[in-house]
Structure 1
Amino acid sequence: MESGRLDVELAQRIADHEGVDAATLDPPLHDVVDVDALEALLSPHSHERTDFTGTVSFEYGECTITVDHTGAVSVRPTLEDAEAELATM
């Protein structure tokens, strides 16, 4: 993963999910998750070692964001929202 790009990827994916511009996310992404720490976990410097092979998930608004050890990002409705949507069908 290219350094400094995870925050852009996360913001864009969340904005796409919410149907808004990434620059207008409210609250700002950095108020919800420490993207620098997440990037450090996924892309350690060459002198550091990580055995991280899992996923990190957090909620933002009405969605759950999951980032895996490769940096792949998924954005899904929160479980509560998904269940409520199913109940109306």
Structure 2
Amino acid sequence: MSNTTPTSLRVVQGVAAHEGVDPMDLEPPLHEVIDTDALDVLYRKADALSVRIEFTYRENHVRIDESGHVDVTDATADRGSSTAVE
């Protein structure tokens, strides 16, 4: 995946990969949980900002660092198992 892939799409792909499901099967859709347009805008402008976001989606802890790297771990676990999306 390239850095031109919207952050919201990388989150969906990361969560789906972590859960071993098709991204289209994720319920509720990510846009019902967070403002995906705002997320994408934040990381398009991230070169001028220091933005780090963490939230829970489908019992997964999603962490997005300053570079837009997406890391998905189990929210209920010790976070030892993770799936990263560049």
> Which ranges of structure 2 fall in alignment gaps of 5 or more residues?
79-86
With normalisation by structure 1, the TM-score equals 0.73
2:74 is the alignment partner of 1:73:
no
With normalisation by structure 2, the TM-score equals 0.75
RMSD: 2.0
Aligned residues: 76
> What is the CA-CA distance between 1:41 and the residue it aligns to?
1.3
**Greater relative contact order, per chain length (Cα 8 Å cut-off, separation 6+):** 2
2:77 is the alignment partner of 1:82:
yes
> Which ranges of structure 1 fall in alignment gaps of 5 or more residues?
84-89
Measured in 2, the distance between the counterparts of 1:37 and 1:54 equals 12
Trace 1:3-82 onto structure 2 (pairs within 5 A): 5-44=6-45, 51-78=48-75, 81-82=76-77
Secondary structure, aligned partner of 1:11 = helix
Larger Rg: 1
List 4+ stretches of structure 1 deviating above 3 A: none
Aligned-partner residue type, residue 21 of structure 1: D
